[in-house]
Every structure is written in C-alpha cells, then in structure tokens.
Amino acid sequence: MEERIQKIMARAGLGSRRACEELIAAGRVRVNGKVASLGAKADAAQDKIEVDGRPLSGSEALVYIALYKPRGVLSAASSPDSRQTVRDLVPESGRLYPVGRLDFDSEGLILLTNDGELANQLTHPRYGHEKEYRVLVARQPDEEQLATWQRGVVLEDDYRTQPAKVRVESLEGKGAWLRVIMREGRKRQIREVGTRLGLPVVKIIRIRIGTLMLGNLKPREWRHLSPQEVSGLRSQKGRTRAGSKNEKVKPRKSKEPNRSQRPPDKSKRR
C-alpha cells in the first residue's frame, strides 16, 4: 500500500513528519534510486527508500520516555557545541527525539520517543494539545494583567497569542507562582508575554503535555511511560482536560433564546 514518504520515515523512527519533510526537501531521500519530492508516495514493502544513501530499516520498537529537563540543558537530540542535551540524560540505545521543546533556561516535562506519528500529533498546531506550566513571576499580577494574558497579548513581532488559562497559584515574596495552560508554544512565548505585561519571569516549569503529567520526577530523572499513558496521548487528538485538578472550570452559558422563544415581558403589558 502506498503512503506518503514522510509518514513511512516517521514510522521508522526518523523523527516527526515535519523533520522527515525537511530531509526530503533537502534532497537526502531517494526512492528506487531517484531523489524523492515532497508529496510523493511509496510502498514500504516494495520500494527501496534510502536516507543519505542508507536503506530505511524496518520499524524500531517504539519507546516513550518522560524526562524532567533541568535548566541549562538543550531540548535537542544533539548539540552544535559542548552543551549537554536531553538525549545525554537518557542512557537508552536507539534514536530518540524530544517532543515539546523547552528553552535553555526553562525546566520540566519533555517526552522522548521514536514514534514520529505521535510526535507529529503532539506538536502540530492544528491539534492544539494543551501544555501546562508553573510560572514564577517577580511581581504579583493585578486582575487586568491576568485578564490581558488570558485574552491574548501582542508580541514584538505583532503576533497575538491565543487565549490562555492563567491564574495565581500562590504568592512568593514580592512575586507569585502562576498556573498557565496554553495550546501553542512559540519560542520563549511565556517569557515575552511576562515582559510585555510588566511581570518578569523568574522560572518556568512545565508539568503537563496533553494528558501526560510530570508527576514526581525530579530534575534529570526519567521513566518509561505506561501503556495507559501512551494510549491516552494517542487517543486524545487535541481534546485534553480543561486543566489540573485544582483549576475550576466555569460552566458553559446556555445560548440566549431567539425572539420567538422568549417569554412575553409582563412588565410591558398595558
């Protein structure tokens, strides 16, 4: 059966579909000796697919690992310099790629896997998977700052962030711990939003990706996901719970009836 080449590559553990598309666009993939093009299809059972001249191997055993990334570690499989990466923290063999990247100064939950299909599902914007963070800011926010963050903030490049769930979790000296839940993840977004609102960010800890929780992991600790956790990530398709167990969810307001459905206003009767 023919499938898109990037889908076959992702299933074989070469990374997310987007990463595989980049390999194809760079001319590093050949099918039956010919350079592959984006959008082309192939039959994994019959066609010879090569990446950088090496035949595509059969599907690897799928691996899923939750890691607590500490500050000062790159969210990458390899480093262009001597800095440590999340891959260095997990002494497991085989190719593993980070899903849900965190910037160098942030910490918390990272998923490492060779399941390109799941990686694509968790990172592609159209699925809108929630990511939850504990954020320490240097000042205690007022109601207007929280409301603005919740509605969306215009960043330096004129991009308006999507609505987010933001609440004060606890006070910390002159600052406060916030709980932030988002469905997007632009580079250094939380830090830039905090700066724009006059709430300098001191610390960021990610505690959830979709249905996967950080749990009791400490910095540099990692564990394999349970079958139930993997199943939860696979089946949610962007529909995650409204927030953590401490978050109150407002009931939906019923739609206002149209004029024909409204009861008569007795006060206007003559």
* Least trusted range by pLDDT, from 75-79, 124-128, 223-227, 254-258: 254-258
- 259 confidence band (pLDDT: 50, 70, 90): very low
- 56 confidence band (pLDDT: 50, 70, 90): confident
Q: What is the 3-state secondary structure (H, E, C) of 32-98?
A: CCEECCCCCEEECCCCCEEECCEECCCCCCCCEEEEEECCCCECCCCCCCCCCEHHHHCCCCCCCEE
Average pLDDT over residues 184-201: 94
Q: Which CATH superfamily is domain 2-55 in?
A: RNA-binding S4 domain (3.10.290.10)
* Least trusted range by pLDDT, from 133-137, 181-185, 226-230, 245-249: 245-249
Catalytic (active site) residue 103: yes
Burial of 73-93, coded b for 16+ CB within 10 Å and e otherwise, reads bbbebeeeeeeebbbebbeee
- 185 confidence band (pLDDT: 50, 70, 90): confident
**pLDDT per position as a tens digit, 15-49:** 788 889 999 999 999 998 899 999 899 887 678 89
Question: Which residue in the list 47, 52, 103, 157 is annotated as catalytic?
Answer: 103
- Decide which of 259 and 23 is more confident: 23
Q: Where are the domains of the chain?
A: 2-55, 64-236
User: Do 161 and 189 meet the contact criterion of CB atoms below 8 Å apart?
Assistant: yes
| 179, pLDDT greater than 70 | yes
Q: What is the dihedral of CA 166, 171, 174, 178, to 10 degrees?
A: -20
Separation CA 123–CA 243 (nearest Å): 19
Average pLDDT over residues 241-255: 37
- Decide which of 69 and 15 is more confident: 69
First to last CA, the chain: 76
What is the reported pLDDT for 242? 37
CATH topology of domain 64-236: Pseudouridine synthase (3.30.2350)
pTM, rounded to two decimals: 0.70
How large a percentage of the chain has pLDDT more than 90?
58
